[in-house]
C-alpha cells in the first residue's frame, strides 16, 4: 500500500497562508475538569455477556424478503444482505471476509456501509481516507481512549491481517455508496432509561426516564432490527435543550475563537473535501468519541495534530453540542 506521509508543519503552513487561519494549537483557556472518557459515549459490553443461542427460528426485518437464522446473524463471515437492491454487488472481502482473521467488512459496517453508533459509517467516505485509517490502526496511530470496547479490538485485529489489495477493494466499494440519514435528533430535558445491549445503549425494557444532563442518549428505534444488522435501522438521539443551536455556532463560526469553522476542512456542506471525511449526519456517539480521542492523543495519524489543535479549547459540553448539530444534518 502506498503510504502518504503528511507533514503537520506543512499542513499548518498551507492552511495559514491560503485560508488566513490560525489554529489554536494550545489551549488559551483552562479546559473543564476531565474525569476520563464519558461512559455514555463509550459503552462497554458487560462482563459475562453471551450472545443468544441459535433457536432455529428465522429472523425478518421490515421491507425485506430475506430471512436469516441467529447463527447466520452472528456469523462474522456471512453477509446479512437484507436489501441487495440498495447497493452494487459486494466484493468478497466485504461480504465474506477471509477466514480466520479478516472479518467481513459488511458484518460490522453493514452491506451498504451504514454502520451504527458502535462504529463508523463508511458509505461515501473517500477511498484514500479509509485506506489511511486501516494503516493508522495497523501502526498503532489510531487507538481508542477505551481500547477494551469490542469494535475497537476487532478493527485493530483486522487491520493487522488484511492485505493492501483487500483494503483497496473494500475502500473502493464503500466510497462508491451514498450515505443515508438514519438519525433523528430530539432536544429534551429527559431521556429514556437505558442499558448496554452488547455494543450500544438501548431503551430499558422496564421503561422510565431520567434527566439527560450533559450527554447524548443515542438508541435504536427497534433493537431487534439493529441486532439483525439491518442497514435500514433507525436511531433516535436525545440531546440537551439548546445543544443543536450551540453546535451550529461552533461549527459555522468557531464560537468566537474557541475553535475554527468545520467547513474549512470538511467542506462547506460538511460532507467531506478530498481525503477529509464528511461529518454531517454521523452518529453523535461516534463523533464525541473521535473528538475526545483527538483531544487526548488516542488518534495520532495524519491530520490528527491539526484536529488536536481544533479541539484544544473545547470541553465535553462543546463535544455534545457539536455532535448534536452534526447529527441533525443530512449526510
What pLDDT digit, counting tens, does each position of 113-143 carry?
Answer: 999 999 999 999 999 999 999 999 999 999 9
CATH of residue 161: 1.10.760.10
The per-residue pLDDT for range 76-87, each reduced to its tens digit, is: 999 999 999 999
Residue 312 near residue 298, CB atoms below 8 Å? no
Give CA separation, 176 vs 112, 113, 149, 166, 259, in Å.
Answer: 10, 10, 29, 16, 32
Is 226 within a domain?
no
Task: Report how many domains make up the chain.
Answer: 1
* Straight-line distance from the first to the last Cα atom of the chain, in angstroms, rounded to the nearest whole number: 29
pTM: 0.91
- The per-residue pLDDT of the chain, averaged, comes to 91
- Residue 25 pLDDT exceeds 50: no
Residue 272 inside a domain? The answer is no
What are the phi and psi torsion angles at 84 (to 5°)? -65, -20
Q: Label residue 257 left, alpha or beta by phi (over 0 means left) and psi (-120 to 50 means alpha).
A: left
Residue 136, in any domain of the structure? yes
Confidence at residue 34, expressed as pLDDT on a 0 to 100 scale: 64
Residue 328 lies in a domain: no
Whether 117 maps to a domain, the answer reads yes
Question: 130: domain range?
Answer: 58-175
124 falls within a domain: yes
* Percentage of the chain modeled with pLDDT above 70: 90
Dist. CA 276–CA 29, nearest whole Å: 28
User: pLDDT for 192-219, tens place per residue?
Assistant: 999 999 999 999 999 999 999 999 999 9
Note whether 116 and 233 are within 8 A (CB).
Answer: yes
Amino acid at each position: 500500500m502506498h503510504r502518504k506521509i503528511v507533514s503537520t508543519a506543512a499542513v499548518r503552513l498551507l492552511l495559514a497562508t491560503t485560508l488566513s487561519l490560525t489554529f489554536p494549537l494550545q489551549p488559551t483557556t483552562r479546559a473543564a475538569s476531565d474525569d476520563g472518557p464519558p461512559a455514555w459515549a463509550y459503552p462497554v459490553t458487560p462482563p459475562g455477556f453471551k450472545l443468544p443461542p441459535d433457536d432455529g427460528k428465522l429472523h425478518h426485518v421490515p421491507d425485506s424478503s430475506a430471512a436469516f437464522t441467529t447463527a447466520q446473524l452472528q456469523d462474522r463471515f456471512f453477509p446479512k444482505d437484507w436489501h441487495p437492491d440498495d447497493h452494487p454487488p459486494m466484493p468478497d472481502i466485504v461480504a465474506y471476509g477471509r477466514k480466520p482473521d479478516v472479518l467481513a467488512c459488511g458484518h460490522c459496517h453493514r452491506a451498504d456501509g451504514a454502520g451504527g453508533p458502535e462504529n463508523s459509517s463508511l458509505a461515501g467516505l473517500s477511498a484514500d481516507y479509509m485506506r489511511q485509517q486501516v494503516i493508522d490502526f495497523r501502526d498503532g496511530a489510531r487507538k481508542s481512549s477505551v481500547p477494551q470496547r469490542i469494535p475497537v479490538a476487532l478493527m485493530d485485529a483486522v487491520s493487522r491481517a488484511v492485505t493492501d489489495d483487500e483494503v483497496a477493494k473494500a475502500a473502493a466499494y464503500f466510497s462508491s455508496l451514498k450515505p443515508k440519514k438514519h438519525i433523528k435528533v430530539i432536544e429534551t430535558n429527559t431521556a429514556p432509561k437505558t442499558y448496554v445491549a452488547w455494543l450500544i445503549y438501548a431503551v430499558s425494557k422496564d421503561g422510565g426516564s431520567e434527566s439527560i444532563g450533559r450527554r447524548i442518549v443515542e438508541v435504536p428505534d427497534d433493537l431487534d432490527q439493529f441486532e439483525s444488522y439491518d442497514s435500514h435501522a433507525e436511531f433516535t438521539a436525545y440531546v440537551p435543550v439548546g445543544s443543536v443551536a450551540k453546535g451550529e455556532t461552533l461549527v459555522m463560526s468557531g464560537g468566537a475563537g474557541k475553535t475554527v469553522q468545520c467547513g474549512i476542512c470538511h467542506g462547506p456542506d460538511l460532507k467531506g473535501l478530498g481525503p477529509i471525511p464528511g461529518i454531517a449526519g454521523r452518529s453523535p456517539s461516534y463523533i464525541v468519541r473521535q473528538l475526545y480521542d483527538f483531544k487526548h492523543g488516542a488518534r495520532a495519524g495524519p491530520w490528527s495534530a491539526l484536529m488536536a489543535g481544533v479541539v484544544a479549547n473545547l470541553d465535553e459540553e462543546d463535544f455534545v453540542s457539536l455532535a448534536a448539530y452534526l447529527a441533525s444534518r443530512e449526510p
